[in-house]
Amino acid sequence: MPLLCARIIYNVGTSSVFILLYLTMLFLILDAGRLIHLVPSTFMKLSAVGTLTVLGIMIAVFAYGNWHYYQKKRVQIDLRSDKSLDKPLKLVMISDLHIGYHNTKKDLAHWVDLINEEAPDYILIAGDIIDVSVKPVLEENMSAEFKRLRAPVYACLGNHDYYAGEPNSERFYRESGIQLLRDQSVTLNGKLVIIGRDDRTNPKRKSVSKLVENIDQEKFKILLDHQPYHLELAEKAGVDFQFSGHTHYGQVWPVSWIEDALYEKAYGRYQRGNTQYYVTSGIGIWGGKFRIGTQSEYVVCTIR
């Protein structure tokens, strides 16, 4: 199937999920209004005014949601540590790019420009670089955009990277100049340790305590773990900072409320003991390009 046709089918199919959700909520509100006599019955039955009103509301909501998706928010985090660092380190951290049929090479090029403008020391990606297939990623030669990044890139796998085929994702990471950490760690500047945990899709991945057992406790430890489950594990293992994604914070309200109920922390900054966390809503998105009540973001972190 030509890439353009596949892209149209993907976008229409996934966007319909969100449109149907909002149509359901809107009709529930209108029906409730009818029952308490705030909305006349004539508005609900064979009404051109009612039809045009519903259509207008839906177009306005989703036009806003699409516009808001493209407004990438810069989130600044300052981390202070009593552990020795030769100098302050600047990191750009992102997650959930979901490049493929809907997030295209043009989208990725813009994100790369935003990251390069920050002039970071290192770039960290907490998984889900690829959406569901490597085919559109390879056809558009998206690895060329990653190669424009002007700092070393370290990443862990996400569940969608597994959906795209784990060997395919690994190969793409290598071709893009991204150092993939699968239950591995790397020491930078002799002071900073980046630990990449394999996604929980892999039931045989190592525990957090196993990943840190041979790491000098005097070094500042950052854990990349795509899905923010069991945050207490990083605290018990003495991790200084954990960066996760996966939730998208629901992408649209009120799904974000469901996310809040499912996760200890579904979005934003958090702390347990001496361990700090940030769960990002992601720079990209799954499915329809709509952000309603949430934001697409990239995180700029300075460690002092």
pLDDT tens digits for range 126-161:
999 999 899 999 999 999 999 999 999 999 999 999
pTM, whole model, 2 decimals?
0.93
Residue 89: φ, ψ to 5°:
-115, 135
- What's the pLDDT score for residue 238? 93
105 pLDDT more than 80: yes
Domain CATH code at residue 166: 3.60.21.10
Both 62 and 79 in a single domain? no
Last residue of a domain, one of 48, 69, 90: 69
Both 111 and 183 in a single domain? yes
Rounded distance between C-alpha atoms, residue 131 and residue 124, angstroms: 18
Band (pLDDT 50/70/90 cuts) for residue 85 is confident
125 pLDDT more than 90: yes
Both 140 and 54 in a single domain? no
* Amino acid at site 64: Y
107 pLDDT more than 80: yes
Both 189 and 296 in a single domain? yes
Question: Once rounded to an integer, what is the mean pLDDT over residues 174-187?
Answer: 96
pLDDT tens by residue, 259-288: 999 999 999 999 999 999 999 999 999 989
Length of the chain: 304
Q: What is the mean pLDDT of the chain?
A: 94
Both 33 and 137 in a single domain? no
What percentage of the chain exceeds 90 in pLDDT?
A: 82
Both 239 and 289 in a single domain? yes
- Please report the DSSP string for the chain in residue order: --HHHHHHHHHHHHHHHHHHHHHHHHHHHHHHHHHTTSS-HHHHSS-HHHHHHHHHHHHHHHHHHHHHHTSPEEEEEEE--SS--SS-EEEEEE----BTTTB-HHHHHHHHHHHHHH--SEEEE-S--B-S-SHHHHHTTTHHHHTT-SS-EEE---HHHHHTTHHHHHHHHHHTTEEE-SSEEEEETTTEEEEEPPPTTSTTPPPHHHHHTTS-TTSEEEEE-SS---THHHHHTT-SEEEE-S-GGGSBTTHHHHHHHHSS-SSEEEEETTEEEEE---SS-SSS---BSS--EEEEEEE-
Residue recorded with tokens 């990438």: 72
Both 115 and 232 in a single domain? yes
Band (pLDDT 50/70/90 cuts) for residue 1 is low
Rounded distance between C-alpha atoms, residue 230 and residue 251, angstroms: 22
Last residue of a domain, one of 69, 97, 121: 69
Residues 6+ apart with CB under 8 A from 226: 95, 126, 127, 128, 156, 157, 158, 159, 197, 199, 200, 244, 245, 246
> How many other CB atoms sit within 10 Å of the CB of residue 186?
14
Both 64 and 131 in a single domain? no
Domains of the chain: total: 2
pLDDT tens by residue, 193-242: 999 999 999 999 999 999 999 888 889 999 999 999 999 999 999 999 99
Bridge-partner residues for 153, per DSSP?
A: 123, 178
Bridge-based pairing state of the strands 275-279 and 268-272: antiparallel
Both 11 and 56 in a single domain? yes
Both 42 and 125 in a single domain? no
Domain range spanning residue 10? 3-69
Both 98 and 48 in a single domain? no
